[in-house]
Amino acid sequence: MGVVIPSLSYEVLPLSAIESLSLGTLIIVPKTAVFEEIIKDKKGVIFFRYNDFNDLQNKIIKTFKNPPTLKNISYNEFSPDKHYLSLKRIYKRLI
């Protein structure tokens, strides 16, 4: 299973993307600087060309026709444990 985030605006990072990645769910997102910057290792993400709905359609079809690829590409980038450790480091620097 995957989540498509066909954002037409330049959102900083939709909560749906973070929630999906934290659950190990693949996301399909437009190739914008926002997503490329924040999701540095590109695991758990398939990019489509911004505003190119044919490319989006092709990526969806290709992904769901190959379930092993879908399973292998899903990745737990934003886990609660990683988030907790990140917050803990920030708090320690502030104290």
- Which CATH number fits the domain that encloses residue 23? 3.40.50.2000
Structural domains in the chain (count): 1
- Could you list the residue range(s) of the whole structural domain that residue 33 is in? 2-94
pLDDT at 48: 92
Q: Is the pLDDT of residue 5 over 80?
A: no
- pLDDT given for residue 20 in this prediction: 79
Please tell me what DSSP assigns to residue 11: -
Most confident region among 9-13, 78-82, 83-87 by mean pLDDT? 83-87
pTM above 0.75, yes or no: no
In 3-state terms, the chain is what percent helix, strand and coil (to 5)? 50, 15, 35
Question: Each residue of 23-69: pLDDT tens digit?
Answer: 778 888 888 877 777 776 667 788 999 889 999 999 999 888 877 66
